[in-house]
Amino acid sequence: MATIRVPHPVPTPEEDAKTLRKAFEGLGTDEKAIIEVLGHRTAAQRAEIAATYVMLYKETLVERLDSELSGDFRKAVILWAMDPAERDAKLANQALKNKGDQHIWVIIEVACASDPDHLMLVRKAYCSLFSSSLEEDVASRFAHEQPLGQLLARLVSSYRYTGERVDEGLTQSEAAELYEAIRKKQPHHEGVIRMLSTRNKSQLKATFNHYKQDYGKAIDEDIESSGSSQFTSMLKVAVCCIGSPEKHFAEVVRTSVLGFGTDEDSLTRAIVSRAEIDMKKIKEEYKIRYKTTLDADVIDDTSGDYKNFLLTLLGSADP
């Protein structure tokens, strides 16, 4: 489901490090060479390149990229070059410093659209980078916004079973519990928060499917129609990130390109964070929902090296 295209055979980390060094040292930076190397390597391969680069040249790759590049292209390449867990930790920390629903989306994405092992790595990286825990900072930031704060703190603190075992009996009873809470306009009920923050994703997806079969509408649609509070909006995001993250990230991209100007930070986050996970599904969902392609909207709303880099991550033909 990833969209990045890795060459075969893959150059050695030493060869890639030397190519990048040459790109930095010419008369002006060779951005095309940087895209060609980093845009066509997996996270593990990029980590090997970064380790080799610092060994050969006694400076970190990210520091050199920061000094060589500029604008949204620099932001995107640096996020891509980072260790994924450190990247998500930094994105979460930055989101906690800002206000607005779309910044809360970042916290929910990290907690719910990642697998449990990755979330553990993010929490560990967060502690190392910021000398505090993600859980602590989320609880502190949203202390006066209950029950939203409770939901977010429980989500980032969760560690879900990673297998695919599903208790079919539980799906029916918990689908009914969700329906009752939404019908009574009590989506903040403790049972709802407990369910979303503890059940494994296979169990929750089965419960969401049972919900639709039994009650005629998808749960995210019912949540949306149950009220317009910030909590219900964020609950819907959590349900989407757990049950069908491709729907959420298609919306992130679409929201970022609509209207006057482009929200480059959101566009970059969606593409960089999902290119190695489920970008093919996101592109399919995008085409179905918006009757256009994600690639076409990126082409219309971006330019230059930034556009070329995003298209590379999307697996498009090289410009």
- pLDDT for 21 beyond 90: yes
Q: What's the rounded Cα separation, in Å, for the pair 207 and 243? A: 10
- pLDDT for 214 beyond 80: yes
How would you write the chain as a 3-class SS string? CCCCCCCCCCCCHHHHHHHHHHHHHCCCCCHHHHHHHHCCCCHHHHHHHHHHHHHHHCCCHHHHHHHHCCHHHHHHHHHHHCCHHHHHHHHHHHHHCCCCHHHHHHHHHHHHCCCHHHHHHHHHHHHHHHCCCHHHHHHHHCCCCCCHHHHHHHHHHCCCCCCCCCCHHHHHHHHHHHHHHHHCCCCCCHHHHHHHHHCCHHHHHHHHHHHHHHHCCCHHHHHHHCCCCHHHHHHHHHHHHHHCHHHHHHHHHHHHHCCCCCCHHHHHHHHHHHCCCCHHHHHHHHHHHHCCCHHHHHHHHCCHHHHHHHHHHCCCCCC
Average pLDDT over residues 65-94: 98
169 half-sphere exposure, CB direction, 13 A CA radius = 0
pLDDT tens-digit map of 131-140 = 999 999 999 9
Q: What percent of the chain has pLDDT over 70?
A: 99
The structure's pTM equals 0.94
pLDDT of residue 317: 56
191 is in an annotated binding site: no
Average pLDDT over residues 177-205: 94
Average pLDDT over residues 311-318: 84
Residue intervals of the chain classified under CATH 1.10.220.10 are 13-69, 84-157, 168-243, 247-303
Under 8 Å between Cβ of 121 and 131: no
Handedness of CA 297, 303, 309, 311 (dihedral sign): positive
Of the candidate CATH numbers 3.20.20.70, 1.10.220.10, 3.40.640.10, 3.40.30.10, the domain formed by 247-303 belongs to 1.10.220.10
261 is in an annotated binding site: yes
Average pLDDT over residues 11-16: 98
User: Rg (Cα) of the chain, in Å, rounded?
Assistant: 21
- pLDDT for 65 beyond 80: yes
Of the candidate CATH numbers 2.40.360.20, 1.20.1250.20, 3.90.1150.10, 1.10.220.10, the domain formed by 84-157 belongs to 1.10.220.10
Quick one: tokens of 40? 């066509």
Average pLDDT over residues 23-47: 95
Q: Which of 10-24, 174-188, 256-270 has the highest mean pLDDT?
A: 10-24
Of the candidate CATH numbers 3.40.50.2300, 3.40.50.10860, 3.40.50.300, 1.10.220.10, the domain formed by 168-243 belongs to 1.10.220.10
262 is in an annotated binding site: no
- pLDDT for 318 beyond 60: no
pLDDT tens-digit map of 221-237 = 999 888 779 999 999 99
301 is in an annotated binding site: yes
pLDDT of residue 319: 40
Average pLDDT over residues 272-297: 97
255 is in an annotated binding site: no
For the 13-69 domain, the top CATH level (class) is mainly alpha
Q: What percent of the chain has pLDDT over 90?
A: 90
pLDDT tens-digit map of 99-158 = 989 999 999 999 999 899 999 999 999 999 999 999 999 999 998 788 999 999 999 999
In the predicted model, what is the mean pLDDT of the chain? Answer: 95
